[in-house]
Amino acid sequence: MDVLEISKKILHEGPICDHCLGRQFAKLSTGLSNRERGQALKLALVLEGDRIYKTENDDSLLKELAPCSVFARKALGIEGEDEQCWVCLDQFKKLDEWADEAVKALEGLEYSTLLVGTKVSGLLSENEEMLWAEAGTAYAEQLKSELNREVGKRISEKVQKDVDFENPDITITLDLAKNKLDLQLRSVYILGRYRKLIRGIPQTRWPCRKCKGKGCERCNFTGKQYQESVDELIKGPVVEAFQAVDTAFHGSGREDIDALMLGSGRPFVVEAKSPVKRSTDLEELMRNINEKAAGKVEVREFSFTGKDMIETLKSSKADKTYKLKVTFKEPVSEEKLKSSLDALSGIEISQQTPMRVVHRRADLVRKRHVHSIKLDELTDEGYAYITVNCEGGLYVKELVSGDEGRTNPSLSGLLGISALVEDLDVVNVDI
């Protein structure tokens, strides 16, 4: 079936606008808009219809064209206006309206790129499926694709910003069913490192165990198990700097609540959600965070990054260095302690999920390497200060205690004496 015959079949369904008719042949002939294709097809059909009318006295084709073609109406000598397109319900008459509404919504926002998307109503989807059933889809373009392009082009011209199909700062969604538009502001991502300088605060927000975050007497109606976290100490200045709705914290692993994070700090990404601003002085932002954290947390090495860095942090197996303060149930000689530590250095450790976390993690046996472990000091009081460099994911406390045989080998097992980590500090995360 040729192009004109297909066009006639489409017309049998009812009045159709130039955009929707031309859109069925969008993949034919470059350098034309769908509107121009539709206009050309209608004009060709009017010429054919007028020929048939004059030679055969058959005006049926012109009458089918008349509700959507001024030239068909002229050939028939009748007045009137184009009727509503049965496919798009005249969405293409609203292109400038959508563009003007979007420009207004974008006022005050900081962005460099944009993209338009369309949420098509059920009725319009059904109409398009009916059209495809008649015309086929070999050369067609979707309704929403043309709307995205035409509205996007108009907005881009008005605001002098580029369209970005891969990673736009702002996505504008046209909701045709609700006749409204929504803005999705792409998050801003900042890579940095944090040092946790006090014990007793978690990395991220913890909901109260009793009320699950709803608020109760136990948590003083805050909904939080711990009133502060590294996440929250960083959040406030970030929200303020970017005028963001909220933040999300993505760390490269985490330390225990009672552990310090020292040395160069732990890598993390803070995500500023739905930001009004997309740029800020990162040095000033770091100063603000450190000032407000008041010696509890310190951030450093801020830089802008992309969303893909989160996956890099989560998937990387970073080596870690810890400093431990270890206590013993019985006195231990320096010679025996050094000998036991030497036996742990450079070997693979078998660890069943520790009893302290097995309630929230799968009970599995994991293999992790100790790269090195050495004695820094054995005090007269019987404390040992030990430095451990190991593969990420090793449970260091259990490496010392043995966790009742769930970690093997262990320092306690090699000594034959119960040993426990009293203090644990993370001094380096090598990613």
User: For each of the chain's 431 residues, which pLDDT tens digit applies?
Assistant: 689 999 999 999 999 999 999 999 999 988 999 999 999 999 999 999 999 999 999 999 999 999 999 999 999 999 999 999 999 999 999 999 999 999 999 999 999 999 999 999 899 999 999 888 878 878 899 999 999 999 999 999 999 999 999 999 999 999 999 999 999 999 999 999 999 999 999 999 878 878 887 888 888 888 777 789 999 999 999 999 999 999 999 999 888 899 999 999 999 999 999 999 999 999 999 999 999 999 999 999 999 999 999 999 888 778 999 999 999 999 999 999 999 999 999 999 999 999 998 888 889 999 999 999 999 999 999 999 999 999 988 999 999 999 999 999 999 999 999 999 999 999 988 87
Active site (annotated) includes residue 258: no
Burial class (CB in 10 A: 0-12, 13-18, 19+), 273: middle
Dist. CA 383–CA 119, nearest whole Å: 66
In this prediction, residue 210 carries a pLDDT of: 83
**Whole-Å CA distances, 319 to 43, 71, 193, 258, 297:** 72, 76, 15, 20, 22
In this prediction, residue 38 carries a pLDDT of: 96
Among 256, 319, 363, 423, the active-site one is: 256
Put residue 26 in one of left, alpha, beta given phi > 0 → left and psi -120 to 50 → alpha.
Answer: alpha
pTM surpassing 0.85? no
Dist. CA 211–CA 219, nearest whole Å: 8
**Whole-Å CA distances, 417 to 38, 332, 399, 410:** 88, 8, 13, 11
In this prediction, residue 286 carries a pLDDT of: 98
Instruction: Report CA Rg, the chain.
Output: 34
Element (H, E) at 124: helix 122-135
Dist. CA 121–CA 176, nearest whole Å: 6
In this prediction, residue 221 carries a pLDDT of: 83
Residue 246 β-bridge partners: 273
Which structural domains are found in the chain, ordered by start? 3-76 (no CATH), 91-185 (3.30.2130.30), 188-315 (3.30.70.2510), 319-430 (3.30.70.3190)
